């Protein structure tokens, strides 16, 4: 892979010894879903190559930190990457987002991108 290609990091399933380099942050979410579909295992970020941080381990607060007003919203993979160093697994990010959506607290302007209301 050349240096000019996008690189968001590496995700892993320790049980399967899976390590997948992902180009875009939301590719991590696709791998998470694809792998879980056949194993039930939770894929996690192994290494994040994005410059994203949040001060909170709460999914809603972290999303508020990262929501910079872009109309397409924050990629779920970026949110998960930011929460990863705080010990929040991708599964909990997706569960948290589901609850927030069902409460009407956030919305999804484009597929797998979210914004606070």
Chain residues binding another protein by CB under 8 A are: 13, 16-18, 20, 31, 33-41
Cα 48 versus chain centre, distance? 10
Q: Which is nearer to another protein, 17 or 68 (CB)?
A: 17
Q: Which is nearer to another protein, 37 or 117 (CB)?
A: 37
Q: Quote the least distance from Cβ 52 to another protein, whole Å.
A: 24
- Kindly provide the b/e burial profile for residues 31-45, where b requires at least 16 CB atoms within 10 angstroms of the residue's own CB: bbeebbeeeeebbbb
Q: Quote the least distance from Cβ 11 to another protein, whole Å.
A: 10
CA distance 63 to 4: 28
């Amino acid at each position: 892979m050349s240096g000019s290609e996008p690189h968001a990091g590496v995700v892993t399933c320790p049980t399967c010894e899976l390590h997948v380099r992902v180009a875009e942050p939301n590719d991590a979410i696709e791998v998470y879903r694809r792998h879980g579909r056949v194993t039930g295992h939770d894929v996690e970020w192994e290494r994040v190559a994005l410059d994203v941080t949040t001060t909170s381990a709460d999914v809603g607060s972290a999303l508020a930190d990262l929501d910079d007003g872009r109309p397409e919203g924050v990629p779920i993979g970026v949110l998960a990457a930011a929460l990863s160093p705080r010990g929040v697994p991708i599964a909990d990010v997706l569960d948290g987002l589901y609850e927030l959506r069902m409460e009407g607290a956030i919305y999804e302007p484009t597929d797998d991108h979210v914004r606070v209301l």
